[in-house]
Amino acid sequence: MKQDRVYFFDTTLRDGEQCPGAAMNLREKLQVARQLARLGVDIIEAGFPITSEGDFAAVQQIAREVKGPVICGLARCVPKDIEAAAEAVKPAGKRARIHVFLGTSKIHREFKLGKAQAEILRLAVEGVRRAKAHVENVEFSPEDASRTELDFLVNIVQAAIEAGATTINMPDTVGYATPAEYGEMFAHVIQHARGAGRVVFSAHCHDDLGLAVANSLAAVRHGARQVECTVNGIGERAGNAALEEIAMGLKTRGDFYGNLRIGIRPGEIVRTSRLVSRMTSFLVQRNKAIVGENAFSHSAGIHQDGILKKRETYEIMNPEDVGWGKTELPLTKHSGRHAVAVRLKHLGLNMSDGDVNTIFTRVKQIGDKKKFVYDDDLVALAEGHITEVPETWSLEYLSVSSGNHTVPTATVRLKRFTGPKTPPETHQDAGIGDGPVDAALKAIDRITKIRGRLKDYALRAVSQGKDALGEVTIQADFGNGHQLAGKGASTDVIEASARAYLNAVNRYLNEREPNPRKTGPR
């Protein structure tokens, strides 16, 4: 272990995805994992393999395809969990890690597990040893460490180290700690646990009190050399510590944190943030540190004057350093397929020839409606393609009549795919509503015989200008616990809304029963 190095353990694909509504399919997870590798994270916690076949497949595929970072699978201190995690991360070879955890706080022992301290110690040791039999790299987490008695925390950490753990993570599972006490907890355990000098200590913080980043940095100040975090701070409840904030905190205030080295490439931060936002359908708030659209905006006259005279008067970071900057030469409808492929590669999007062909067709369609297709437009089209699911219903035609003295009416024609060898069926119907979007969605409901209740709707301009591509993100509730996201993009916001809703409908049908039709390579 290098004491002057802080390792970044990204759990966007595990803890981040546990946030309600943030679930990603395999293709989306692979794109995020590839970008995390490009960002420079040291460890990717790719999922919790025992929870589902989909999670197992995602961890295994990422372990097989993503090169560079250590690939980690989560497991309880339960044999079947550990065996599943071991099999899932096996393709990563020497880069494989198993992360085992067990509740240790008094409240977890008494009310969740119903076990005494001695039994918890035994299970922890057995779990670490079982994981160690599969991989050299084993991480152990005493869950709810920040509410665990210090003497017991020292004992169980010591036992895990002796059993073979190489990383000890002491999480603030419910976001209860304050920076002072969380930092002191690390200092105490590192000082008193035998073998502490042989392992890496890690911080994993939740943001229930808005202190996740502060707690993580406090842990670093007191000896932690791994931080567990997510892009944009997504995660259960109020979220996790935000990767981009910790990274830039350590970089910008290196004088305070002892000039510790990190492997994060700051220039990839904004690109990674946008990718995760689109893949999860979680928009980034405008005033979010580092990656929010207002993070480097100055409206006050005094601030603007100072920035013009010397940037450092009101900016402690250069926005270009984290990936904010001007777009490259835009594409047009006359651009060739090769130009589109080159731009996609430059933007860090790993696409097959089939993917490029599909995106190229969409670029041509958009190019007929607007003069330039900017990088942000291209990324939106590519990520929209990535987030597609096998289609049962596909939009073929949409016509809307609306006005302040007209009943909004929408006519929709959809294609329904019933099998790989069966010609698609065409269905058309009309609907009226409170507005053109409502009318279009009701027409889709009439055709598909599926009723989704809109829980959230967001529209944003992907690029600048009156002809900008509009990207719609929705959350729809189809009942029985099926609350799903949908995404769609078009220069016509009504069309984008219909495409987003159909994306959610197809996701619902794909969850409910396997779909016979594939929209492209998966």
Residue 285 has pLDDT above 70, yes or no: yes
In this structure, what DSSP letter does residue 466 have?
T
Residue 2 has pLDDT above 70, yes or no: no
The residues spanned by each domain of the chain are 7-280, 295-325, 337-386, 393-512
Q: How far apart are CA 190 and CA 410, in angstroms?
A: 65
- Which residue is associated with the tokens 């152990």? 140
Give the mean model confidence (pLDDT) for residues 324-336: 74
Residue 516 has pLDDT above 80, yes or no: no
CATH architecture, domain 393-512: 2-Layer Sandwich (3.30)
Residue 394 has pLDDT above 90, yes or no: yes
pLDDT in tens, 408-464: 999 999 999 988 888 999 999 999 999 999 999 999 999 999 999 999 999 988 877
pLDDT in tens, 191-227: 999 999 999 999 999 999 999 999 999 999 999 999 9
pLDDT confidence tier of residue 511, bands split at 50, 70 and 90: confident
For the chain, the average pLDDT equals: 90
Q: Which residues are CB-neighbours of 120 under 8 A, at least 6 positions away?
A: 102, 103, 104, 109, 113, 156
261 burial type by CB count under 10 A (0-12 exposed, 13-18 middle, 19+ buried): exposed
Q: Which residues of 417-430 are buried (b: 16+ CB within 10 A; e: fewer)?
A: beeeeeebeeeebb
Best CA proximity match to 412, nearest among 517, 499, 506, 519: 499
Residue 359 has pLDDT above 50, yes or no: yes
So what's the pLDDT on residue 520? 33
Residue 485 has pLDDT above 50, yes or no: yes
pLDDT in tens, 151-192: 999 999 999 999 999 999 999 999 999 999 999 999 999 999
Residue 350 has pLDDT above 90, yes or no: no
Give the mean model confidence (pLDDT) for residues 234-260: 96
So what's the pLDDT on residue 36? 98
So what's the pLDDT on residue 8? 98
Ranking 170-184, 291-305, 492-506 by mean pLDDT, the lowest is 291-305
The DSSP H or E segment spanning 461 is strand 453-461
CATH topology of domain 7-280: TIM Barrel (3.20.20)
Same fold, 7-280 and 393-512: no
Give the mean model confidence (pLDDT) for residues 314-323: 82
Helix extents (H) in 50-149: 53-65, 79-89, 106-107, 117-132
Q: Over the Cα atoms of the chain, what is R_g? A: 25
Give the mean model confidence (pLDDT) for residues 98-105: 98
Contact 66, 59 (CB under 8 A): no
Total count of residues recorded for the chain: 522
Dihedral angle, C-alpha 428, 433, 436, 437, nearest 10 °: -80
